[in-house]
Amino acid sequence: MNIKVIFIICLILIGCSFLFLKQNKGGISMAEAGTNHKVLVAYFSRTGEQYGVGNIKEGNTAIVAKIIAEKTNGDLFEIKVAQDNYPKSYNELTEYAKKEMQQNARPEIVGKVENFSDYDTIFIGYPVWWGDKPMPVYTFIDNYDFNDKTIVPFATHEGSGFCGTQGMDKLGAKILKGLGMYGHVAQKDKPQADKIVSGWLKEIGY
Ligand SMILES: Cc1cc2nc3c(=O)[nH]c(=O)nc-3n(C[C@H](O)[C@H](O)[C@H](O)COP(=O)(O)O)c2cc1C
């Protein structure tokens, strides 16, 4: 074997090692998402009359939350208010929500996340309400210690796009890129919603 052939073999071996390391890196990320990372998917969502979808039995954000939980092997927690006075009519709900925001209210939440400290990644989902998150989501955030955790926000909306992360940057948590999805897509086109969630999860390392 002359020196030129040995050189070419070495180059091929180095190339193969790089390829192996690259593929393996992706694999580790998936494994971490499914097994090593304990994932919580907390969400707030409303049924009743919603914009562009009529009277719904399952909230738009709830649908997205369930897709995420399934794909990340996460536990679901629905953020529900203790006294549910939210109107079922869309227009009345918008007025009610506006007042709640103006008062900077913290509606009480029912239930508690068991063993919250065990979770290292918390997806937080909500419908965009007046360009922000609904006030019960603020209550949820106030109730737990997010220091050193990873927060992954997601929202459904009808035109504003993803928003509502106000205040999350002060929690001492790492915040990953959020997802915004049209509510009517989640409600009416589940294959598309599934595809959007998969693409986003991949982008953020799951
Ligand atoms: C009180 C209220 C305020 C809303 N404000 C906005 C908004 O600012 N921007 C937007 O794009 N959609 C807004 N929407 C539409 C919702 O974000 C959208 O319909 C969402 O998918 C509802 O999710 P849900 O079924 O999980 O509650 C608002 C809806 C309500 C009820």
Q: Residue 144: give its domain's CATH number.
A: 3.40.50.360
Beta carbon of 96 within 6 Å of any ligand 1 atom: no
**What 3-state class would DSSP assign to 47?**
coil
Same domain, 85 and 182: yes
What local confidence, expressed as pLDDT, does residue 2 receive? 66
What is the spatial distance between Cα 160 and Cα 21, in angstroms, rounded to a whole number?
Answer: 40
Taking only the tens place, the pLDDT of each residue in 157-195 is 999 999 999 999 999 999 999 999 999 999 999 999 999
Query: Which of 160, 183, 154, 147 minimizes the C-alpha distance to 49?
Result: 183
Q: List, as own/partner pairs, every contact residues 184-193 make where C-beta atoms lie below 8 angstroms and the sequence separation is at least 24, other chains included.
A: 184/52, 184/53, 184/60, 184/158, 186/60, 186/61, 186/63, 186/64, 186/156, 187/50, 187/53, 187/56, 187/58, 187/60, 187/63, 188/53, 190/63, 193/63, 193/64, 193/67
Q: Which residue of 60, 126, 157, 163 sits with most ligand 1 atoms within 8 Å of its CB, as the best mutation to test the pocket?
A: 157
Mean pLDDT to the nearest integer, 113-125: 97
Same domain, 31 and 52: no
Q: How far is the CA of 140 from the centre of ligand 1 (A)?
A: 19
Mean pLDDT to the nearest integer, 30-44: 72
What local confidence, expressed as pLDDT, does residue 37 receive? 77
Q: Which residues pair with 126 in a beta bridge?
A: 155
| Res 34 pLDDT > 80 | no
Query: What DSSP element (H or E) covers 110?
Result: strand 109-110
| Res 76 pLDDT > 90 | yes
Same domain, 116 and 167: yes
Closest approach atom of ligand 1 to CA 44: 26
Nearest residue by C-alpha to atom 29 in ligand 1 = 129
Greater pLDDT, 45 or 18: 45
Closest approach atom of ligand 1 to CA 183: 21
Beta carbon of 59 within 6 Å of any ligand 1 atom: yes
| Res 113 pLDDT > 60 | yes
Query: Which of 81, 79, 78 minimizes the C-alpha distance to 96?
Result: 81
Beta carbon of 187 within 6 Å of any ligand 1 atom: no
Residue-number span of the structural domain to which 75 is assigned: 38-203
What is the spatial distance between Cα 40 and Cα 87, in angstroms, rounded to a whole number?
Answer: 28
DSSP 179: E
DSSP 177: P
Same domain, 29 and 51: no
Same domain, 89 and 169: yes
Same domain, 8 and 91: no
Beta carbon of 115 within 6 Å of any ligand 1 atom: no
Same domain, 28 and 103: no
Same domain, 11 and 59: no
Positive or negative: CA dihedral 35, 175, 44, 156: negative
Radius of gyration of the chain (CA): 21
Write down the mean pLDDT value for the chain. Answer: 89
Same domain, 117 and 61: yes
Same domain, 54 and 6: no
Burial of 65 (0-12, 13-18, 19+ CB in 10 A): buried
| Res 121 pLDDT > 50 | yes
| Res 20 pLDDT > 60 | no
Same domain, 10 and 105: no
What predicted TM-score, i.e. pTM, was given to this entire model?
A: 0.86
What local confidence, expressed as pLDDT, does residue 31 receive? 41
- The domain tally of the chain equals 2
- Kindly report the number of other CB atoms within 10 A of residue 47's CB atom: 14
Closest approach atom of ligand 1 to CA 181: 21
Same domain, 49 and 29: no
